[in-house]
Amino acid sequence: MTAPIRLSGVTYAYGKGELARPVLRDVDLAVGPGEVVLLTGPSGSGKTTLLTLIGALRAMQAGDALVLGQQMAGASEAQRVALRRRIGFIFQQHNLLGFLTARQNVAMALELHPGLSERDRLTRAGEMLAAVGLADKTESRPDQLSGGQRQRVAVARALAGRPGLILADEPTAALDRQSGGDVVRLLRELARRQGVPILMVTHDPRILDIADRIVAMEDGRILPANEAKSVSAA
Ligand SMILES: Nc1ncnc2c1ncn2[C@@H]1O[C@H](COP(=O)(O)OP(=O)(O)OP(=O)(O)O)[C@@H](O)[C@H]1O
């Protein structure tokens, strides 16, 4: 089976010409099928930029990146949009729509899936919410839920479309220790069941144990594996 993510020599700069500031330098990274990889490193080291490139949220500049079989170098906007639909995203803030119920928020992620009626989508959304322990909160709006519950809705939404990959950016940053740990463990468990790999940016030392592998970045580069281990032990 090919790796869901395979990057080679990825380089990226913000700004143009003399103002160009490189933030990724020659990054190589592979994530295998079903693997849970955490990306750590100091603020400004380029983690979010790397995640947004992999998630096709921005266009590549240099290097090679194969994500779910799509070559990202030179990909058109339409190809990037199509790829984004096959990825489940989870952000620091849950990004739920406040005027929709939990069920409607999750069902929305299924709108682009052909062949599902509105009723199918709402049923599937209910099942996903039950899987994240929110069977009794399906009709609640985000402001009626705790932070941890909202993030669990975000997990249900990310997984509902049966993505090929989950990308998460600091999903526990706004949560207390207990609910942060609960949310990522739940995410890992459900992703494992579906065989979906996870690449997660995190500063949170409390959740490093969920990883199959920890990758550390510094100043736009990936550190060698032995240095990454000492970062995680620190
Ligand atoms: N849209 C942008 N335009 C210009 N510079 C940017 C932009 N986004 C990020 N940067 C800069 O690029 C560098 C890398 O940012 P990035 O957000 O990728 O780092 P990070 O490791 O995710 O940091 P953090 O942990 O603080 O989120 C930083 O110096 C940041 O200021």
Does the beta carbon of 40 sit less than 6 angstroms from any atom of ligand 1? no
CATH of 34-55+81-233, one of 2.70.98.30, 3.40.50.300, 3.40.1000.10, 3.40.50.720: 3.40.50.300
User: Is the predicted pLDDT of residue 222 greater than 80, yes or no?
Assistant: yes
Complex-level ipTM beyond the 0.90 threshold: yes
- pLDDT one-digit tens code per residue, 3-48: 899 999 999 999 888 888 899 999 999 999 999 999 999 999 999 9
Q: Where are the domains positioned within the chain?
A: 34-55+81-233
Report which protein residue has its CA nearest ligand 1's atom 28. 44
Distance 139 CA to ligand 1 centre (A): 37
**Has this prediction a pTM greater than 0.80?**
yes
pLDDT digits (tens, 9 = 90+) for 69-124: 999 999 999 999 999 999 999 988 768 999 999 999 999 988 877 788 889 999 99
pLDDT at 234 over 50: no
For the residues of the chain, what is the DSSP string, one character each? ---SEEEEEEEEEES-GGG-EEEEEEEEEEE-TT-EEEEE--TTSSHHHHHHHHTTSS---EEEEEETTEE-TT--HHHHHHHHTTEEEE-SS----TTS-HHHHHHHTTTTSTT--HHHHHHHHHHHHHHTT-GGGTT--GGGS-HHHHHHHHHHHHHHT--SEEEEESTTTTS-HHHHHHHHHHHHHHHHHHT--EEEE---GGGGGG-SEEEEEETTEEPPHHHHHHHHH-
Q: Whose CA is nearest to atom 6 of ligand 1?
A: 14
